[in-house]
Amino acid sequence: MDVRTIRRHNLERLIREAGGQRHLARRTGVSAAYLSQVLSERVNRNVGHNLARRLEAGMHKPYGWMDVADPALLPAMADRVRERERPEAAYGTPTPRRRGLGRLVAEAGGVAPLAERAAVWLPYLVAVVQGGGGVPWGLARRLEAAMERPRGWMDRAGAG
Tell me whether residue 157 is exposed, middle or buried, using C-beta atoms within 10 angstroms of its C-beta: 0 to 12, 13 to 18, 19 or more.
Answer: exposed
Q: How many helices (H) and strands (E) does the chain have?
A: 10, 0
| 20: helix, strand or coil | coil
| Residue 14: closest CA among 58, 75, 68 | 58
Percent of residues in the chain assigned helix, strand, coil, to nearest 5: 65, 0, 35
141 Cα distance to chain centroid: 12
pLDDT one-digit tens code per residue, 37-78: 999 988 888 899 899 999 999 999 999 999 888 655 455 444
What distances in angstroms separate CA 42 from CA 22, 33, 62, 64, one per listed residue? Answer: 20, 14, 30, 27
pLDDT one-digit tens code per residue, 63-117: 999 988 865 545 544 444 443 334 445 444 567 888 899 899 999 999 999 999 9
How confident is the model at residue 87, as a pLDDT? 44
| 96: helix, strand or coil | helix
- One-letter identity of residue 151: R
Residue 100 CB-half CA count within 13 A: 27
> Using an 8 Å Cβ cutoff, are 145 and 96 in contact?
no
Tell me which DSSP letter residue 42 carries: S
